[in-house]
Structure 1
């Protein structure tokens, strides 16, 4: 005999399965390009609201505050992580869901079975896939096969969650972001791609300096420049760090040797000579300049004097990854990509 409680539970399962099967085209977050300027601003603001709520009194256990109750989120990590894994698991728990971690020793994307097969199978049993992968083709392949939202937790081309956290960090520090100057000094990598695109969408001026051997991706930056033209911001690209940081409000760098590039370390360090962020370099910036780095940090990238100074926002930036994930899960899973 099925009692009323069991009936409600089984009805819920049927309802969930039915809704999953008809949602043939879920909305994914693969890069900042997937968000309009208004949507990006709303996600950043929502991340800020979560930050204030959690820091002041925490999330209460109500249906409204637990939109992922009864849902499982697959955390698929081909690459190890500190901030991404912790922020993802904590965020899913905060929203009432169950995080299921799948590391490189649990599944091998595209090795034992195709990305398509993996995406079909895992999405049939979960409500979302948060994937930290290598090539962008991996995250794109998962999304193409998935019946649930896919959130890019990092690939070699994009890092949208870091960009959302960066925009929140800047907004907290400066209140109003439009017209600020964001200076990137370092490698032309995934964080650069999405964080500068986010800046361009929100009206923040962008100035970039990379070594000549590591230029920005021209096709991607055509999109960044198009967004800047709409918002009224500017995009400048050079190979001179001093030019990039001149009058900058925010100075940003990142690792020069990413995972998988260890064999190139000595060659890359030689190419990045003169790109270390120091107080001397920052003397070209605005009077109120701040420093950001998404971590982990190595001493060749930024001096201790800057990294541990009161101008450094690096640890706030790291914490804000949690609130960025909360906002992304709410927007793309709980609200099915309807961002208002």
Structure 2
């Protein structure tokens, strides 16, 4: 991959008028950006108008709009369809690129997907976050399917930090060769599903530890909550991968591990939803009518009741700089190797 490869930055946005300007400006600031495609996914707050005001006049910004919300997967697929650059980059509407991100990633070779570290920043200090950024060495390495799956299974008592949150650059020719696009039925885990399917197709997924992506932490973020049915659709997506006839035994076992994890989360959430809506008796009858779900329900309730006795100190890496600290998704190389 040549360092000067053209990049299309894809921004799916719903009601993001307060934040999308920063996202667009950070993408257009990168010299390697050939296109920025914003897909306004049924917003009601003027997201499209604010996006237009963020244009730098270079002719690289395109704004498309869905009249009815269709979800981030559909929005990203539409952006891929109307774009032409050979490299695709996904940027969330409330996040931003640190300066030099694309150049740093494109300087690496031999990849189909490549991702860098993510810094989690507070909305109030996002504008000064670059001053606190720690200069980790790149330490490039290939991410295996096993590491990817393990990094997407959350553990109680440990700060959330799934590898599925990474925002890799993606080679369009790899996606096209394997007919890979986002699964539009998913409103949760659509990134995980795409990357998992790519890894089962032997995608070269490289990661570097230097940080170029800023994820703004907001309590009202659309990605900070999900519905019970979204968990069901996610484990069904895993089952769709497992139905592939060309899946290796090792890949099958790894995907099955994630399917089991998500399915157990779903069974517990469904039980608790019924209990909250219809009472304990209705929830008990539901469980008795679905005996396969009983282990998930029992283990989940037990874990919830005993969590305070098992809680461990948060060991997520924190890099201090400026007047505050930044938290990173990937641990520094010295701590992760």
Query: If the length of structure 1 is used for normalisation, what is the TM-score?
Result: 0.29
> Hey, which of these two has a bigger chunk of strand by percent?
2
Query: If the length of structure 2 is used for normalisation, what is the TM-score?
Result: 0.29
